[in-house]
Amino acid sequence: MTSRGRPAWKPRLVRERYGKDIWVPGRGTVRPHRLMVEKVIGRILPSHAQIHHFRYGAHPIIVVCEDQAYHDLLERRHRALVACGHVDWKRCRYCREWDTPEAVSEDAHRHSFHLACAAADVRHRRASGRMKMN
């Protein structure tokens, strides 16, 4: 700090990605929304913390997520809410329709699908020769 109470360094804009990143001595480039959150809470965020934006602009709504998994959950629920009005509904990867969690199944990669749609896809791939039969 200088004698006038201002920082001894002046933030520099570095590159453009989600807005312009800011160069901070000792930390490198930092995204502006991280700096904004750090200023509000009064400490530096851990490196694994993710920022989720609900709204951009002059009055942003920002949520600090503990990790990428929680951020992905918020993204998935937000997409469902916007698309169909229900945060817990899931989208079938084959027919692209949104449906209740009870009506769709999930594979190991968290892909959601109707059983009938998956069966129709297998029949179609077998008929077209794109799937080998045992």
Task: For 36-80, write each residue's pLDDT tens digit.
Answer: 888 888 999 998 898 888 776 677 788 899 999 999 999 999 999
Enter the pTM of the model.
Answer: 0.65
Name the residue range of residue 123's domain.
Answer: 89-134
- Structural domain tally of the chain? 1
> Is the residue at 36 inside a domain?
no
- State the burial class of residue 92 (Cβ atoms within 10 Å of its Cβ: 0-12, 13-18, 19+): buried
> Is the residue at 50 inside a domain?
no
- Residue 22 and residue 32: Cα distance in Å, rounded? 7
Q: Do 90 and 101 meet the contact criterion of CB atoms below 8 Å apart? A: yes
> Is the residue at 80 inside a domain?
no
- Residue 33 and residue 65: Cα distance in Å, rounded? 13
Q: Do 52 and 74 meet the contact criterion of CB atoms below 8 Å apart? A: yes
For the cut 90, the answer to whether the pLDDT of residue 131 exceeds it is: no
For the cut 60, the answer to whether the pLDDT of residue 10 exceeds it is: no
> Is the residue at 102 inside a domain?
yes
> Is the residue at 124 inside a domain?
yes
Mean pLDDT across 119-134: 82
> Is the residue at 47 inside a domain?
no
| pLDDT for residue 29 | 85
